[in-house]
A and B are shown apart, each in its own frame.
Chain A
Amino acid sequence: MRFIFVTVGKELKRRFNDPGGLITAIMIPFVIGFLLAAVMGGGGGQPSIQARLLVTDLDDSFVSQGILSAFGQDQIAKMIQVEKLTLEAGQRRINEGDGSGHLVIPEGFGEAWLAREEVALQLTVNPSQSISPRLIREMLESLLDLGDYLHKVFGEELKIIANSLDGNELAGISTADFSASITDKVSGIAPLIFPPVMTVEDVTPQPETTSVSMALLMFPGILVMAAFFAANSQSSNFWTEKEKGTLGRWVASPNAFFAFWVAQWFTAMLLTAIVTAPILLAGFLYLDISFEKYFTSLGWLALTGPVLFAVLSVIQVLAPSRKVGGMISTLVMFPLLMAGGSFFPTETMPKFIAAIAQYTPNGNVTESLKGYLTGEFGVSGLLGDIWGIMAVALFLVLLAGLVSARKALT
């Protein structure tokens, strides 16, 4: 066991003795990501994607229509496209992955809201998307908060409006009195909600605009690309050691051959962390992401890097030579990077490719990473995932060890 850690130390020392290689490993994903983000619409501007919200309005009341019209407002409409449809059609479409979310406004919602009774909106989000559902959820929560304030201030007036819609007249109050009542209330709270220095633009949710920028959409994919490159570099080490004869020295020593692979696996974990940490840091600073999410995101990358390493190692050891192993790895890696959302975010992909992304190892890692970056997953999620991921990685590493044992000895 001790020699495994000595070997990990040796591997890292080799990397640090080649700072050019290490810097290149960090810079390449940076440069590719920067170029792609620039080509696809810049780093922090307006969103170039739209979330699609499917809505089934079973209530069809003044209140539910108010929610739908709020989604149609200019700034929100740029980000969220609303499509009304029946309950069955909505459920079918969201189950097929068509749409970012499906909102069901239940019957009686308007009445319950006016009476301040407990009522719930049902939102089903598309699990293959991360940013768009989050956008919809936060936008909806903001609208409900706004509705709550409206109710507190204009509750009585809203009830009158709702009732009057049935009878086409204001029930029990003259139009002039109704207008005067609203004006009085607005005047009363105006200094609080419309302070002189505050403009309409100031209350536009700026962080949300940033959160769907192309740079943020590309960020998880770039990190996974860096992890993939680090894993690829480490997986080819088997051939380096074999060709140099140092693997022969290992086999001739009293140490178990499988320990070699365990050491490579640990090295891949640390190397992934070393390569992705500065990229993560730069991204957090540039995209203004809360640093509370830094270590869980880094932990996720360090945990999943060895899985990518194990996948590539199996490919390498199955190949008859280093050259063929390298070629097959590249042939596998780049399409995976493309389909898995590293070159183009899944949010910008055609639906069928985005659906494939979640079935690729790196696409899966990328989607989960979005959860860690947005704070959807935390330490508990990481601890929950750790055993399953380690089991998968160890199984693949064991497989690579078994296949390579024969190669190492001949």
Chain B
Amino acid sequence: MIEVKDLQKSYGDLVAVDHVSFSAGAGRVFGLLGPNGAGKSTTISCLSGLLKPTAGSVWVGGFDLSRDAVKAKASLGIVPQELAIYEDLSARDNLAYWGAAYGLKGDGLKQRVDHVLNRIGLVDRAGDLPKKYSGGMKRRLNFGCGLVHEPAVLLLDEPTVGVDPQSRERLFDLVREEKAKGTCVLYTTHYMEEAEKLCDELAIIDHGKIIAAGTLNELRAEFGGNDIIRLAGSFELSSVEPVLVELDAELLSLTSEVLMITIRDGARNLSKVLQAISNTGAEIRDTRLSEPNLESLFLKLTGKDLRT
């Protein structure tokens, strides 16, 4: 459904997307995870025809975007990061307009609009102008405009930014429903929890490059079964590092206030770690033990926090 090969997008000397390749099939949710400015939105823009790639190829729904743009675009639904809706048109009119943009008309259009209004939970407010909506309602309408024509491929560019928890869950349900219908979903986010909840496959992107890709379990395996220990307090940077070598632990992140390490069999080795670190003169105020997640993987791969 989506196939991206060696995609590049440059602005002069600045390389925004650097040899990105991935593919996603029908009924799958593919996540593109990375911090702000990593190149996720630029990749999405290249896939939707908003940006012309500097090099590489993009196939959508079986069509080459550079040669069969009209057919490729017809199979695509897009939910941009910004609220791409008309605030001076009712929700019904917004959906009807974007449905018409993809050739829907008459009763077929009306039925689709009613169906989508029901799915995004705006039936009761269908005639109101979105400028009277809450942020979450606008997000749902933005989402609905992207799927009113039943696209085979759905591009979701950080669809939950600024959304309340209730609307977020509703949007997650919509993504799951689309997946169940056989839609290929490309989902970009910088929230690792969303990626873990929704995505079948993931690519972690930073500085325009994919630095890791695979299923969640494949990515977790990068840690070789180790656990994560996070300590908060005050640490002497120079004295902690030699201790970690003795403990056979790997340093993920170290600041004067937070220390993160990976270590085999974390639960059993926790007291040993605490003792050793305390002996360096460190003051420990909080301790957390967890399984590896995407955030810690990103930290391990890039040396920086996903949310920064």
In the assembled complex, the Cα of A18 lies from the Cα of B86 at a distance in Å of 12
A152 beta carbon closer than 8 Å to chain B: no
Instruction: Tell me if B102 and A249 are in contact (CB < 8 A).
Output: no
A409 to B9, CA, bound (A): 13
Also in contact, A252 and B88, with CB within 8 A (given A244-B83, A245-B80, A245-B83): no
Residues B102 and A253 in contact, CB atoms below 8 Å apart:
yes
Nearest-neighbour CB distance to chain B for A397, whole angstroms, equals 20
Known: A10-B86, A245-B82. A252 touches B50 (CB 8 A): yes
Q: A14-B88, A244-B85, A254-B73 are in contact. Are A249 and B78 (CB under 8 A)?
A: yes
Whether B51 and A10, one on each chain, are in contact in the complex, defined by CB atoms closer than 8 angstroms, is: no
A2, A10, A18: which has the most chain B beta carbons within 10 Å? A10
Check if B98 is an interface residue, CB within 8 A of chain A: yes
Interface readout for A392-410 with B: 1 if CB under 8 Å, 0 if not? 0000000000000000011
Give the number of residues in A that approach B within 8 Å (Cβ atoms): 22
Q: Does A251 contact B (CB under 8 A)?
A: yes
Closest to B74 in A: A254
Contact A249 B84 (CB under 8 A): yes
Q: Which residues of B contact A249 (CB under 8 A)?
A: 78, 80, 84, 98, 101, 145
B93–A255 CB distance below 8 A: no
Q: Is B135 an interface residue (CB 8 A)?
A: no
Report the bound CA distance from A183 to B147 in whole Å.
95
Which residue of B51, B73, B84, B129 has the most chain A CB atoms within 10 A of its CB atom? Answer: B84
The residue in chain B whose Cβ has the minimal distance to the Cβ of A21 is B88
Known: A249-B101, A249-B145, A410-B51. A17 touches B80 (CB 8 A): no
- Interface residue? A164 (CB, 8 A): no
B102 with A17: CB separation less than 8 A: no
Interface residue count on the B side (C-beta < 8 Å): 31
CB distance from A85 to the nearest CB of B (A): 62
Given known A6-B100, A244-B83, A409-B50, contact A253–B88 (CB-CB < 8 A): no
Q: Check B73–A253 contact: CB distance below 8 A.
A: yes
Rounded to whole Å, the gap between the CB of A90 and the closest CB of chain B is 59
CB distance from B64 to the nearest CB of A (A): 15
Q: Which of A245-273 contact B (CB under 8 A)?
A: 245-246, 248-255
Q: Are A409 and B78 in contact (CB under 8 A)?
A: no
Q: Provided the pairs A18-B88, A251-B49 are in contact, do residues A10 and B93 lie with their beta carbons within 8 angstroms?
A: yes
Task: Determine if B97 is an interface residue (Cβ-Cβ < 8 Å).
Answer: yes
Interface string of B83-119 (1 = CB under 8 A from A): 1111111000100011011110100000000000000
Q: Type the 1/0 row for A5-20, where 1 means its CB is closer than 8 Å to any CB of B.
A: 0110010011001100
Q: A3-B100, A14-B86, A249-B98 are in contact. List 5 more A-B contacts (CB 8 A).
A: A6-B100, A17-B129, A248-B78, A253-B101, A255-B101
Name A's B-contacting residues (CB within 8 A).
2-3, 6-7, 10, 13-14, 17-18, 244-246, 248-255, 409-410
Q: List 21 A-B contacts (CB under 8 A).
A: A3-B100, A3-B101, A6-B97, A7-B97, A10-B86, A10-B93, A13-B89, A13-B93, A14-B89, A18-B88, A244-B83, A244-B84, A244-B86, A248-B78, A249-B78, A251-B48, A252-B50, A253-B98, A253-B102, A254-B74, A254-B102
